[in-house]
């Protein structure tokens, strides 16, 4: 009699540290694994509600925190791969699993017997002897129930559940459309003349892309390593316009249209918030964040916009004047700006990406980032060939302290592919938690879309990609250095407007000569990057700072506008966005073009009513880096304070208190404006 093979997603992993068994997991394993894990989790919840003992912190709140471990583990694998290595089959499974997960979540949050037990513990909190971490878990558990409709009457609770299911599918579909639209467009060139202005490395990458597709010539895509350099260097204005329009009209009309879907998402979020008594989704979302309410966010954005907009307009005027001096005629359009601003930057600082890229070989940058973590936190990174990965491009490292204590697994997935969404992010396959006295350390992943090596050239990073790697590594440190008992309070499980602090702080080292010079060597000659190049990098740091800041603030304004409206705006989504941005426009607006229909961060990711948080966290990091400058950029003692008081604490303490514990005071409000020379 043949035994049924064990589903690897439900079995104990045979690999070191319990690493995911990517070598044996098959797509067909996911759905039955989810179904079984949900069943197990429901049994664990039933054991809590059927407990004859009086509700206590241990038998209710802690037990609930530990419930569903299998489901969390499986979801951590599946949903991360759906972003980084998906397929049509995975997408179909996601469409089945997402409502199941929503239903499971709501079956907990709307479980009256469970809520009664949580409520009983909450009401006796004054008499409990809980430490800070346990008290925060109790508070967060209570708020999670109350903010997800546990107190609603039956009919409104049922409506809340239906809205939640519809919302999970709508946001999933939005992200699928963005990926599909990104992959649907290519610019295939066969004439050498069409490549005018493109550097050799850009041409080589495009030739490799064409060859991979079985084409002759050169193929350009909407993935950033292809799209960005094309806009920056191509002398063919007509082709730049074609690429720009394709990129900026993703999901506007056609097969992958999101213009109506995003309004549906906003409407669902708004109705859910109003069921809970909040006037808008933004009021609901911001209640627990550092910003607290939409009015504070709007004042914050306005405070930054006031000095930034005049600066941005001066910068654009300077770029346009430079372009005209060099023969440009007509209006400077969005598809011209990257091209001419790069030439202007080169004229001002004698600096461009193609000059710097040969010094930033990916492997060298990675080694330097690891070395920086060693200096600051005493971390060691050992590549492990005995731990399976989900794609041949992925590498995995065991991260340990100098004492030998294991801290985390770090997966690095650097290169674009059709199965991966664009951008760069950090995520976790497993977060820190303690169960039955046993600590489970995190499995962290950094995913990017850097230029892939070709047969003749290694992967060479632009300087902005160097800062991107440092940024995502900052998030990874937040996850890897986590300490604590409760999964929901560790690592990056912090409020949205605090989570970007560790990542944005790390970017600062990219502008420090003492960090750059030891590793930045020409990949062919071995020559150390000339000090004059480093000086130019530092000098050019705030080049177009006003323009860049306005662009980010515009994203935040659009996000808040969608989520502060009492009802989802009717009509044309693109027209709504363009009307909103008209007062802050610094380049001509192009009819029919908008970023909202492909704005994954707020319509598919976790940044709804939260995109402002990038700038909020920049204020924190600008203030925090001043402290590192005072104490020493490579000071183990200084980094130790940052780790102890902030990085390791996760969400176990309110973010405001964490920052004050670290800095000894609240952040200086104008720290970012000073850093950017905008005040």
CATH number for the domain including 435? Answer: 1.10.1370.40
Residues 376 and 464 in one domain: yes
Write down the pTM of the prediction: 0.92
Residue 156 located in a structural domain: no
d(CA 595, CA 614): 17
Question: Which of 611, 636, 665 is a domain's end point?
Answer: 611
Least confident interval from 2-6, 369-373, 644-648: 2-6
CATH of the domain at 92: 1.20.1050.40
Residues 559 and 572 both lie in one domain: yes
175 occurs within a structural domain: no
Kindly name the residue from 62, 83, 133, 472 that is annotated as catalytic: 472
360 within 8 A of 463, measured Cβ to Cβ: yes
12-26 burial, b at 16+ Cβ within 10 Å, e below that, comes to ebebeeebbbbebbe
| CATH code, 570 | 1.10.1370.10
Statement to judge: residues 563 and 645 lie in one domain: no
pLDDT at position 3: 63
Q: With 80 as the cut, is the pLDDT of residue 1 above it?
A: no
| 5: confidence class by pLDDT, cuts 50, 70, 90 | confident
As a dihedral over the C-alpha atoms of residue 342, residue 346, residue 349, residue 355, rounded to 10 degrees, the angle is 100
User: Do the beta carbons of residue 544 and residue 315 sit within 8 Å?
Assistant: yes
Examine the domain organization and report whether 503 and 643 are in the same domain: yes
Residue 160: inside a domain, yes or no? Answer: no
Given a cut of 50, whether residue 471 has pLDDT beyond it is yes
Domain with 55 in it: 16-109+111-147
Cα angle 108-176-592, degrees, rounded to a multiple of 5:
125
Residue position matching structure tokens 């809205």: 163
Both 338 and 399 in a single domain?
no
Neighbours of 367 (CB within 10 A): 13
Give the model's pLDDT for residue 328.
97
Quick check: is 518 in a domain?
A: yes
Give the pLDDT band of residue 2 (cuts 50, 70, 90).
low
Identify whether residues 280 and 345 lie together within a single domain: yes
Residue 159, in any domain of the structure: no
Choosing from 593, 611, 629, the residue where a domain stops is 611
Is 174 part of a structural domain of the chain? no
Contact 434, 485 (CB under 8 A): yes
472 is catalytic: yes
Residue 176 in any domain: the answer is no
> Which of 197, 219, 248 delimits the end of a domain?
248
Q: What is the mean pLDDT of the chain?
A: 96
Return d(Cα 538, Cα 543) in angstroms, integer.
Answer: 10
Residue 8 placed within a domain: no
Cα angle for residues 251, 255, 259 (degrees, 5° grid): 35
Do 607 and 619 reside in the same domain of the chain? no
436: left (phi over 0), alpha (psi -120 to 50) or beta: left
Cα separation, 206 vs 210, in Å, equals: 6
On whether both 199 and 55 belong to a single domain, the answer is: no
On the CB side of 265, CA atoms within 13 Å amount to: 28
Residue 401 CA to residue 406 CA, distance in Å, equals 7
CA distance 184 to 249: 12
Taking the CB of residue 192, how many other CB atoms lie within 10 A of it?
A: 10
For residues 310 and 372, membership in a common domain is answered with: no
Q: What is the DSSP string of 259-309?
A: HHHHHHHHHHHHHHHHHTT-SSHHHHHHTTSTT-SHHHHHHHHHHHHHHHH
**3-state secondary structure at position 450:** coil
CA atoms within 13 A on the CB side of 558: 30
Rounded CA-CA distance 69/14 in Å is 18
Report the pLDDT value the prediction gives residue 390, as an integer from 0 to 100: 98
Q: Do residues 621 and 505 make contact, with C-beta atoms less than 8 angstroms apart?
A: yes
Stated as kind and residue range, the H or E segment containing 10 is none
Span 8-66, pLDDT tens digits: 999 999 999 999 999 999 999 999 999 999 999 999 999 999 999 999 999 999 999 99
Q: Quote the crossing angle between the two packed helices 30-49 and 112-123, to the nearest 10°.
A: 50
Q: Are residue 457 and residue 369 in the same domain, yes or no?
A: yes
What was the pLDDT predicted at 526?
96
Burial category of 521 from C-beta neighbours within 10 Å (exposed 0-12, middle 13-18, buried 19 and up): middle
In this structure, are 559 and 421 located in the same domain? no
Q: Are residues 230 and 300 in the same domain?
A: no
Q: How does pLDDT run across 125-134, given as a tens digit for each residue? A: 999 999 999 9
Number of domains in the chain: 4
């Amino acid at each position: 009699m043949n035994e049924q093979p064990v589903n690897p997603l439900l079995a104990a992993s045979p690999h070191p540290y319990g690493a995911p068994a990517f070598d044996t997991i098959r797509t067909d394993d996911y759905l039955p694994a989810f179904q079984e894990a949900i069943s197990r989790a429901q049994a664990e919840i039933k054991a809590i509600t059927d407990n004859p003992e009086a509700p206590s912190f241990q038998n209710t709140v802690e037990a609930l925190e530990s419930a569903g471990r299998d489901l969390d583990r499986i979801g951590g694998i599946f949903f991360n791969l759906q972003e980084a290595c998906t397929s049509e089959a995975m997408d179909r499974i996601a469409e089945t699993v997402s409502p199941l997960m929503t239903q499971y979540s709501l079956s907990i949050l709307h479980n009256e017997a469970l809520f009664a037990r949580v409520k009983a513990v909450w009401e006796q909190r004054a008499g409990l002897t809980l430490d800070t971490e346990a008290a925060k878990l109790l508070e967060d558990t209570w708020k999670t129930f109350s903010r997800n409709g546990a107190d609603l009457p039956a009919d409104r609770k049922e409506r809340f559940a239906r809205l939640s299911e519809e919302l999970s599918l709508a946001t999933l579909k939005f992200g699928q459309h963005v990926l599909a639209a990104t992959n649907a467009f290519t610019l295939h060139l066969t004439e050498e003349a069409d490549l005018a202005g493109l550097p050799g490395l850009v041409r080589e990458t495009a030739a490799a892309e064409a060859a991979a597709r079985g084409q002759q010539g050169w193929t350009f895509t909407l993935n950033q390593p292809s799209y960005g350099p094309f806009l920056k260097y191509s002398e063919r204005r007509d082709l730049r316009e074609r690429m720009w329009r394709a990129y900026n009209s993703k999901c506007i009309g056609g097969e992958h249209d999101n213009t109506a879907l995003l309004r549906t998402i906003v409407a669902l979020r708004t109705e859910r918030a109003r069921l809970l008594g909040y006037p808008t989704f933004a009021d609901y979302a911001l209640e627990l964040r550092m910003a607290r309410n939409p009015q504070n966010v709007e004042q914050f954005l306005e405070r930054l916009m006031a000095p930034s907009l005049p600066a941005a307009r001066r910068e654009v005027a300077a770029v346009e004047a430079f372009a005209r001096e060099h023969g440009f005629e007509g209006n400077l359009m969005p598809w011209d700006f990257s091209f001419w601003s790069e030439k202007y930057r080169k004229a001002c600082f004698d600096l461009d990406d193609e000059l710097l890229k040969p010094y930033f070989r990916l492997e060298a940058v990675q080694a330097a980032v690891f070395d920086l973590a060693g200096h600051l936190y005493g971390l060691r990174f050992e590549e492990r060939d005995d731990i399976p990965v989900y794609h041949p491009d992925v590498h995995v490292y065991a991260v340990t302290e100098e004492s030998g204590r294991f801290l985390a697994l770090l997966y690095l997935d650097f290169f674009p592919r059709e199965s991966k969404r664009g951008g760069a992010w950090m995520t976790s396959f497993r977060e820190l938690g303690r169960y039955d006295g046993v600590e489970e350390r995190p499995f962290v992943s950094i995913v990017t879309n850097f230029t892939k090596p070709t047969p003749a050239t290694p992967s060479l990073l632009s300087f902005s990609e160097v800062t991107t790697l440092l940024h995502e590594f900052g998030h990874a440190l937040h996850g890897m250095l986590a300490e604590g008992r409760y999964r929901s309070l560790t690592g990056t499980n912090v409020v949205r407007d605090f989570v970007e602090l560790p990542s944005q702080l790390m970017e600062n080292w990219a502008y420090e000569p003492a960090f750059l010079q030891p590793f930045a060597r020409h990949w062919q000659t071995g020559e150390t990057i000339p000090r004059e190049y480093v000086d130019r990098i530092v000098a050019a740091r705030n080049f177009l700072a006003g323009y860049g800041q306005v662009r980010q603030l515009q994203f935040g304004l659009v996000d808040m506008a969608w989520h502060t409206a009492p009802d989802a705006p009717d009509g044309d989504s693109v027209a709504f966005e363009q009307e909103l941005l008209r007062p802050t426009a610094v380049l001509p607006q192009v009819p029919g073009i908008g970023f909202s229909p492909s704005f994954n961060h707020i319509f598919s990711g976790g940044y709804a009513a939260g995109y402002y948080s990038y700038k909020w966290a920049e204020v924190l990091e600008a203030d925090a880096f001043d402290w590192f400058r005072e104490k020493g950029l490579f000071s183990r003692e200084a980094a130790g304070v940052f780790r102890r008081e902030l990085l390791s604490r996760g969400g176990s303490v309110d973010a405001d208190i964490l920052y004050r514990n670290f800095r000894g005071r609240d952040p200086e409000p104008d720290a970012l404006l000073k850093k950017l020379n905008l005040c």
